[in-house]
Protein backbone atom coordinates (compact mmCIF):
# COMPACT_ATOMS: atom_id res chain seq x y z
CA UNK A 1 0.00 0.00 0.00
CA UNK A 2 2.79 2.26 -1.04
CA UNK A 3 0.91 4.68 -3.24
CA UNK A 4 -0.91 6.65 -0.56
CA UNK A 5 0.49 9.97 0.50
CA UNK A 6 0.22 11.60 3.88
CA UNK A 7 -2.19 14.24 2.65
CA UNK A 8 -4.61 12.42 0.44
CA UNK A 9 -5.92 8.89 0.73
CA UNK A 10 -4.98 6.79 -2.27
CA UNK A 11 -8.56 5.67 -2.88
CA UNK A 12 -11.56 7.93 -2.42
CA UNK A 13 -14.16 6.33 -4.69
CA UNK A 14 -17.18 4.61 -3.22
CA UNK A 15 -18.28 3.37 -6.64
CA UNK A 16 -16.32 1.45 -9.27
CA UNK A 17 -17.98 2.14 -12.60
CA UNK A 18 -15.25 1.81 -15.19
CA UNK A 19 -11.49 1.82 -15.59
CA UNK A 20 -11.74 5.03 -17.64
CA UNK A 21 -12.29 7.10 -14.54
CA UNK A 22 -9.29 5.71 -12.64
CA UNK A 23 -5.84 7.27 -12.64
CA UNK A 24 -2.78 5.07 -13.08
CA UNK A 25 -2.07 5.67 -9.40
CA UNK A 26 -5.51 4.47 -8.37
CA UNK A 27 -5.22 1.36 -10.50
CA UNK A 28 -1.84 0.50 -8.99
CA UNK A 29 -3.13 1.12 -5.46
CA UNK A 30 -6.02 -1.26 -6.07
CA UNK A 31 -3.67 -3.89 -7.52
CA UNK A 32 -1.41 -3.55 -4.47
CA UNK A 33 -4.39 -3.98 -2.16
CA UNK A 34 -5.47 -7.05 -4.14
CA UNK A 35 -1.99 -8.47 -3.71
CA UNK A 36 -2.26 -8.23 0.05
CA UNK A 37 -5.69 -9.89 -0.10
CA UNK A 38 -4.35 -12.67 -2.28
CA UNK A 39 -2.22 -13.71 0.66
CA UNK A 40 -5.42 -14.24 2.69
CA UNK A 41 -6.45 -16.95 0.25
CA UNK A 42 -3.38 -18.99 1.11
CA UNK A 43 -4.26 -19.22 4.80
CA UNK A 44 -6.11 -22.19 6.26
CA UNK A 45 -8.86 -19.85 7.49
CA UNK A 46 -9.39 -17.82 4.34
CA UNK A 47 -11.28 -14.96 5.92
CA UNK A 48 -10.68 -11.47 7.21
CA UNK A 49 -13.25 -9.49 9.19
CA UNK A 50 -12.94 -6.38 7.00
CA UNK A 51 -16.63 -6.26 5.99
CA UNK A 52 -18.20 -8.01 8.98
CA UNK A 53 -21.76 -6.83 9.46
CA UNK A 54 -21.78 -5.20 6.02
CA UNK A 55 -24.33 -6.31 3.45
CA UNK A 56 -23.41 -6.96 -0.18
CA UNK A 57 -26.16 -7.58 -2.72
CA UNK A 58 -25.38 -9.08 -6.10
CA UNK A 59 -27.95 -7.54 -8.45
CA UNK A 60 -27.45 -9.31 -11.76
CA UNK A 61 -30.00 -8.22 -14.33
CA UNK A 62 -28.08 -10.20 -16.92
CA UNK A 63 -26.96 -13.75 -16.23
CA UNK A 64 -23.38 -14.51 -15.28
CA UNK A 65 -22.78 -17.39 -12.92
CA UNK A 66 -19.00 -17.05 -12.83
CA UNK A 67 -18.74 -13.35 -12.13
CA UNK A 68 -21.49 -13.57 -9.52
CA UNK A 69 -19.75 -16.49 -7.82
CA UNK A 70 -16.46 -14.61 -7.80
CA UNK A 71 -18.00 -11.53 -6.16
CA UNK A 72 -19.90 -13.70 -3.69
CA UNK A 73 -16.79 -15.61 -2.65
CA UNK A 74 -14.86 -12.34 -2.38
CA UNK A 75 -17.54 -10.88 -0.11
CA UNK A 76 -17.65 -14.06 2.02
CA UNK A 77 -13.89 -13.92 2.43
CA UNK A 78 -14.28 -10.38 3.77
CA UNK A 79 -16.93 -11.70 6.23
CA UNK A 80 -19.77 -9.68 4.69
CA UNK A 81 -23.37 -10.87 4.59
CA UNK A 82 -24.34 -11.57 1.00
CA UNK A 83 -27.65 -11.77 -0.74
CA UNK A 84 -28.46 -12.43 -4.36
CA UNK A 85 -31.15 -10.48 -6.11
CA UNK A 86 -32.04 -12.37 -9.27
CA UNK A 87 -34.27 -10.08 -11.19
CA UNK A 88 -36.50 -10.99 -14.02
CA UNK A 89 -35.51 -8.66 -16.78
CA UNK A 90 -39.11 -8.00 -17.70
CA UNK A 91 -39.99 -6.14 -14.53
CA UNK A 92 -36.80 -4.16 -14.05
CA UNK A 93 -35.14 -3.38 -17.34
CA UNK A 94 -36.87 -0.05 -17.83
CA UNK A 95 -35.21 3.02 -16.41
CA UNK A 96 -37.54 4.14 -13.67
CA UNK A 97 -38.27 0.70 -12.42
CA UNK A 98 -34.59 -0.24 -12.16
CA UNK A 99 -34.09 2.86 -10.03
CA UNK A 100 -37.05 1.92 -7.86
CA UNK A 101 -35.71 -1.57 -7.42
CA UNK A 102 -32.30 -0.28 -6.40
CA UNK A 103 -33.76 2.19 -3.91
CA UNK A 104 -35.85 -0.57 -2.37
CA UNK A 105 -32.88 -2.88 -2.05
CA UNK A 106 -30.82 -0.09 -0.50
CA UNK A 107 -33.59 0.67 2.00
CA UNK A 108 -33.12 -2.85 3.38
CA UNK A 109 -29.76 -1.71 4.74
CA UNK A 110 -27.50 -2.73 1.88
CA UNK A 111 -23.96 -1.31 1.85
CA UNK A 112 -22.70 -2.46 -1.54
CA UNK A 113 -24.62 -3.32 -4.68
CA UNK A 114 -22.77 -5.30 -7.35
CA UNK A 115 -24.65 -4.62 -10.57
CA UNK A 116 -24.61 -6.34 -13.92
CA UNK A 117 -26.96 -5.02 -16.58
CA UNK A 118 -27.37 -5.31 -20.32
CA UNK A 119 -27.70 -1.54 -20.66
CA UNK A 120 -24.48 0.47 -20.84
CA UNK A 121 -24.52 3.11 -18.11
CA UNK A 122 -27.02 1.38 -15.83
CA UNK A 123 -24.66 1.22 -12.82
CA UNK A 124 -23.70 4.88 -13.28
CA UNK A 125 -27.38 5.71 -13.48
CA UNK A 126 -28.01 4.05 -10.13
CA UNK A 127 -25.39 6.15 -8.35
CA UNK A 128 -27.76 9.08 -8.82
CA UNK A 129 -30.51 7.52 -6.72
CA UNK A 130 -28.80 5.44 -4.03
CA UNK A 131 -26.22 6.20 -1.35
CA UNK A 132 -24.68 2.74 -1.14
CA UNK A 133 -21.62 1.68 -3.11
CA UNK A 134 -22.22 0.59 -6.71
CA UNK A 135 -19.77 -1.85 -8.28
CA UNK A 136 -20.14 -2.37 -12.01
CA UNK A 137 -19.94 -6.09 -12.79
CA UNK A 138 -20.44 -5.52 -16.50
CA UNK A 139 -22.80 -3.12 -18.30
CA UNK A 140 -23.67 -3.81 -21.91
CA UNK A 141 -20.71 -3.33 -24.20
CA UNK A 142 -19.46 -0.47 -22.08
CA UNK A 143 -17.32 -1.65 -19.22
CA UNK A 144 -16.34 -4.56 -16.98
CA UNK A 145 -13.81 -2.91 -14.70
CA UNK A 146 -13.01 -5.82 -12.36
CA UNK A 147 -12.25 -8.01 -15.39
CA UNK A 148 -9.91 -5.33 -16.67
CA UNK A 149 -8.26 -5.03 -13.24
CA UNK A 150 -7.80 -8.77 -12.82
CA UNK A 151 -6.20 -8.93 -16.26
CA UNK A 152 -3.81 -6.13 -15.28
CA UNK A 153 -3.11 -7.90 -11.99
CA UNK A 154 -2.31 -11.15 -13.78
CA UNK A 155 -0.03 -9.49 -16.32
CA UNK A 156 1.88 -7.65 -13.60
CA UNK A 157 2.14 -10.84 -11.53
CA UNK A 158 3.53 -12.87 -14.40
CA UNK A 159 5.63 -10.22 -16.13
CA UNK A 160 6.66 -8.11 -13.15
CA UNK A 161 5.47 -4.91 -14.85
CA UNK A 162 2.99 -3.54 -17.35
CA UNK A 163 4.68 -0.44 -18.78
CA UNK A 164 6.42 -1.12 -22.05
CA UNK A 165 4.87 -4.53 -22.65
CA UNK A 166 3.44 -5.40 -26.06
CA UNK A 167 -0.10 -6.65 -25.54
CA UNK A 168 -2.48 -7.94 -28.20
CA UNK A 169 -6.23 -8.27 -27.72
CA UNK A 170 -7.71 -10.53 -30.37
CA UNK A 171 -11.29 -10.96 -31.49
CA UNK A 172 -14.55 -9.04 -31.52
CA UNK A 173 -13.22 -5.82 -30.00
CA UNK A 174 -16.16 -3.73 -31.12
CA UNK A 175 -18.73 -5.50 -28.97
CA UNK A 176 -16.51 -6.40 -26.01
CA UNK A 177 -16.62 -4.65 -22.65
CA UNK A 178 -13.65 -6.76 -21.62
CA UNK A 179 -11.57 -5.42 -24.51
CA UNK A 180 -12.60 -1.84 -23.71
CA UNK A 181 -11.69 -2.24 -20.03
CA UNK A 182 -8.38 -3.95 -20.73
CA UNK A 183 -7.44 -1.40 -23.36
CA UNK A 184 -8.12 1.58 -21.10
CA UNK A 185 -6.18 0.09 -18.21
CA UNK A 186 -3.23 -1.07 -20.29
CA UNK A 187 -2.84 2.30 -22.00
CA UNK A 188 -3.00 4.14 -18.67
CA UNK A 189 -0.23 1.92 -17.31
CA UNK A 190 2.00 2.37 -20.35
CA UNK A 191 1.59 -0.86 -22.31
CA UNK A 192 1.60 -0.88 -26.12
CA UNK A 193 -1.74 -2.33 -27.15
CA UNK A 194 -2.53 -3.94 -30.50
CA UNK A 195 -6.12 -4.80 -31.34
CA UNK A 196 -6.42 -7.71 -33.73
CA UNK A 197 -9.41 -8.90 -35.73
CA UNK A 198 -11.36 -8.44 -38.93
CA UNK A 199 -11.99 -4.76 -39.77
CA UNK A 200 -15.74 -5.15 -39.16
CA UNK A 201 -15.06 -6.17 -35.57
CA UNK A 202 -12.05 -3.92 -34.93
CA UNK A 203 -12.87 -0.46 -36.27
CA UNK A 204 -10.04 1.99 -36.95
CA UNK A 205 -11.66 4.39 -34.51
CA UNK A 206 -10.07 2.47 -31.64
CA UNK A 207 -6.76 4.07 -32.64
CA UNK A 208 -8.04 7.21 -30.93
CA UNK A 209 -7.87 5.37 -27.61
CA UNK A 210 -4.17 4.78 -28.05
CA UNK A 211 -4.15 1.35 -29.67
CA UNK A 212 -2.71 0.02 -32.88
CA UNK A 213 -5.29 -1.78 -35.04
CA UNK A 214 -4.50 -4.65 -37.39
CA UNK A 215 -6.13 -7.61 -39.07
CA UNK A 216 -2.86 -9.51 -39.60
CA UNK A 217 -2.52 -11.69 -36.54
CA UNK A 218 0.43 -13.68 -37.82
CA UNK A 219 2.51 -10.58 -38.45
CA UNK A 220 2.40 -9.36 -34.87
CA UNK A 221 2.89 -12.69 -33.08
CA UNK A 222 6.69 -12.52 -32.64
CA UNK A 223 6.74 -9.19 -30.85
CA UNK A 224 3.97 -9.83 -28.30
CA UNK A 225 4.54 -10.29 -24.54
CA UNK A 226 0.86 -10.91 -23.87
CA UNK A 227 -1.97 -12.12 -26.12
CA UNK A 228 -5.52 -11.89 -24.78
CA UNK A 229 -7.95 -14.04 -26.79
CA UNK A 230 -11.59 -12.91 -26.56
CA UNK A 231 -14.39 -15.44 -26.55
CA UNK A 232 -16.07 -15.93 -29.94
CA UNK A 233 -19.72 -14.96 -29.97
CA UNK A 234 -20.69 -17.20 -32.84
CA UNK A 235 -23.71 -15.21 -33.99
CA UNK A 236 -21.63 -12.03 -34.20
CA UNK A 237 -18.88 -13.62 -36.26
CA UNK A 238 -21.16 -15.12 -38.87
CA UNK A 239 -23.19 -11.95 -39.24
CA UNK A 240 -19.96 -10.10 -40.06
CA UNK A 241 -18.09 -10.38 -43.32
CA UNK A 242 -16.99 -13.92 -42.60
CA UNK A 243 -18.22 -16.86 -44.60
CA UNK A 244 -17.80 -19.20 -41.62
CA UNK A 245 -16.45 -19.68 -38.12
CA UNK A 246 -13.88 -22.02 -39.60
CA UNK A 247 -12.49 -19.19 -41.72
CA UNK A 248 -12.43 -16.89 -38.69
CA UNK A 249 -10.52 -19.46 -36.65
CA UNK A 250 -8.03 -19.98 -39.43
CA UNK A 251 -7.16 -16.28 -39.33
CA UNK A 252 -7.61 -15.38 -35.65
CA UNK A 253 -7.49 -18.57 -33.58
CA UNK A 254 -4.58 -19.27 -31.21
CA UNK A 255 -3.10 -22.73 -31.56
CA UNK A 256 0.16 -24.63 -31.04
CA UNK A 257 1.48 -23.63 -34.44
CA UNK A 258 0.98 -19.93 -33.83
CA UNK A 259 2.33 -20.27 -30.30
CA UNK A 260 5.64 -21.50 -31.77
CA UNK A 261 6.03 -18.21 -33.56
CA UNK A 262 5.59 -16.25 -30.31
CA UNK A 263 8.16 -15.38 -27.68
CA UNK A 264 8.76 -18.46 -25.50
CA UNK A 265 7.36 -16.73 -22.41
CA UNK A 266 4.37 -15.11 -24.12
CA UNK A 267 1.37 -14.95 -21.78
CA UNK A 268 -1.87 -16.30 -23.29
CA UNK A 269 -4.96 -14.89 -21.59
CA UNK A 270 -8.69 -15.50 -21.96
CA UNK A 271 -11.58 -14.07 -19.94
CA UNK A 272 -13.42 -17.44 -19.98
CA UNK A 273 -15.33 -19.52 -20.61
CA UNK A 274 -13.13 -20.79 -23.43
CA UNK A 275 -14.59 -22.23 -26.64
CA UNK A 276 -11.98 -24.94 -26.81
CA UNK A 277 -10.76 -25.58 -30.32
CA UNK A 278 -12.25 -22.34 -31.56
CA UNK A 279 -10.58 -19.08 -30.53
CA UNK A 280 -8.17 -21.11 -28.40
CA UNK A 281 -6.82 -24.65 -28.96
CA UNK A 282 -7.17 -26.96 -25.96
CA UNK A 283 -3.43 -27.67 -25.67
CA UNK A 284 -2.62 -23.96 -25.56
CA UNK A 285 -5.40 -23.29 -23.02
CA UNK A 286 -3.96 -25.97 -20.72
CA UNK A 287 -0.29 -25.28 -21.49
CA UNK A 288 2.35 -23.41 -19.49
CA UNK A 289 1.84 -20.09 -21.31
CA UNK A 290 -1.81 -19.94 -20.37
CA UNK A 291 -2.97 -17.84 -17.42
CA UNK A 292 -6.65 -18.71 -17.65
CA UNK A 293 -7.13 -20.32 -14.23
CA UNK A 294 -4.78 -17.83 -12.63
CA UNK A 295 -7.02 -15.05 -13.96
CA UNK A 296 -9.95 -16.70 -12.17
CA UNK A 297 -7.99 -16.94 -8.93
CA UNK A 298 -6.80 -13.34 -9.21
CA UNK A 299 -10.36 -12.20 -9.87
CA UNK A 300 -11.20 -13.07 -6.30
CA UNK A 301 -8.38 -10.95 -4.90
CA UNK A 302 -9.20 -8.01 -7.17
CA UNK A 303 -12.86 -8.17 -6.18
CA UNK A 304 -11.98 -8.35 -2.50
CA UNK A 305 -9.89 -5.21 -2.96
CA UNK A 306 -12.67 -3.48 -4.87
CA UNK A 307 -15.34 -4.24 -2.25
CA UNK A 308 -13.00 -3.29 0.57
CA UNK A 309 -11.73 -0.01 -0.87
CA UNK A 310 -15.13 1.26 -1.99
CA UNK A 311 -16.67 0.44 1.38
CA UNK A 312 -13.79 2.22 3.15
CA UNK A 313 -14.27 5.29 0.99
CA UNK A 314 -18.03 5.27 1.70
CA UNK A 315 -17.37 5.33 5.44
CA UNK A 316 -14.71 8.04 5.29
Candidates 297, 312, 313, 314; binder of a copy of itself (CB under 8 A) is 297
* 86 bridge partner residues: 60
What is the C-alpha separation between 310 and 133, in angstroms, rounded? Answer: 7
Q: Is cis: bond before 185, omega within 30 of 0?
A: no
CB of 17 to a copy of itself, least distance (A): 23
Can you list the alpha helix ranges (DSSP code H) found in the chain? 24-40, 65-77, 89-92, 95-107, 122-127, 145-159, 177-188, 217-220, 234-238, 245-252, 256-260, 282-285, 292-315
CB 232 within 8 A of CB 275: yes
Q: Least distance to a copy of itself from the beta carbon of 253, Å?
A: 17
Residue 31 vs 274, nearer CB to a copy of itself = 274
- Among residues 54, 77, 142, 144, the one annotated as catalytic is 144
Distance CA 258, CA 30 (A): 34
Nearer to a copy of itself, 115 or 300 (CB): 300
Site residues for a copy of itself, 28-47, by CB under 8 A, read 41, 43-47
Distance CA 275, CA 230 (A): 10
**Active-site residue, 94 included:** yes
Q: Does 72 bind a copy of itself (CB under 8 A)?
A: yes
Q: Which of 33, 67, 154, 306 is catalytic?
A: 67
144 is annotated as an active-site residue? yes
Binding site for a copy of itself (CB under 8 A): 41, 43-47, 52-55, 65-66, 69-70, 72-73, 76-77, 81, 83, 85-87, 96, 100-101, 103-105, 107-110, 272-274, 276, 282, 293-294, 296-297, 299-300, 315
Amino acid sequence: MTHATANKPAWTRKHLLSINELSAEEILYLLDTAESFKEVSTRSVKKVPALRGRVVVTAFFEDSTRTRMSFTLAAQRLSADILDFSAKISSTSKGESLRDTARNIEAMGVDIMVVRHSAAGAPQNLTEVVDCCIINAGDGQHSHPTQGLLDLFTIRERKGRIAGLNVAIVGDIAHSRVARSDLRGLVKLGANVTLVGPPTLVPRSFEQLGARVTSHFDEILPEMDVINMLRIQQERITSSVFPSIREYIRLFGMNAERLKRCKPDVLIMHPGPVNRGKELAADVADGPNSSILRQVTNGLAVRMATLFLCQQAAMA
